[in-house]
Amino acid sequence: MSAPVAIRNAITACLAFASPLLWAGGLPVPQDAKVVDQRPAVEQERVYPMGPLRKISGRLRVDDKVESRGQVSSVTYELPVERTAREAFTSAREELQRDGGYPLFWCQGRDCGEASLWANDVFANARLNGGDEQQAFILLRRSADEADTLVALYSVTRGNRRAYLHVEEFVAGSPLGELLPTAATVLREMRDTGKLDYPDLAAPQDTWVNLLARSLNLDSTLRASLSGAQAEAWREALIKAGVRNGRLEVGSAPTDGLHLELIR
For residue 16, pLDDT beyond 90 = no
- Give the pLDDT of residue 21: 53
Tens-place pLDDT, residues 182-228 = 999 999 999 999 999 888 888 999 999 999 999 999 999 999 999 99
- The highest-level CATH class for domain 183-262 is alpha beta
The whole-angstrom separation of Cα 117 and Cα 4 is 52
CA distances from 253 to 101, 189, 221 (A): 19, 18, 22
What is the mean predicted confidence (pLDDT) over 44-70?
Answer: 92
- Give the pLDDT of residue 116: 95
- Give the pLDDT of residue 19: 41
CA 218 to chain centre: 20
The whole-angstrom separation of Cα 10 and Cα 21 is 17
Beta bridge partners of 88: none
Chain region(s) in the chain for CATH 3.30.1330.60: 183-262
Tens-place pLDDT, residues 148-157 = 999 999 999 9
What is the mean predicted confidence (pLDDT) over 14-25?
Answer: 43
- Give the pLDDT of residue 254: 86
Contact 96, 151 (CB under 8 A): yes
The whole-angstrom separation of Cα 138 and Cα 118 is 12
Nearest partner of 209 among 175, 255, 251, 260, judged by Cα: 260
Q: How many CB atoms lie within 10 A of CB 43?
A: 11
Residue 35 CA neighbour count, 13 Å, CB half: 9
Residues of the chain with pLDDT > 70, as a percent, come to: 91
Q: How many CB atoms lie within 10 A of CB 132?
A: 16
- Give the pLDDT of residue 199: 84
pTM (2 d.p.): 0.85
The whole-angstrom separation of Cα 130 and Cα 159 is 6
Tens-place pLDDT, residues 227-257 = 999 999 999 999 999 999 999 999 998 888 9
What is the mean predicted confidence (pLDDT) over 125-146?
Answer: 94
Task: Collect all residues with Cβ–Cβ distance below 8 Å to 45 and sequence separation of at least 6.
Answer: 67, 68, 69
- Give the pLDDT of residue 158: 95
The whole-angstrom separation of Cα 223 and Cα 264 is 8
Helices (H), the chain: 3-18, 85-98, 115-117, 183-193, 206-217, 231-240
**Angle, vertex CA 159, rays to CA 37 and CA 133, nearest 5:** 95
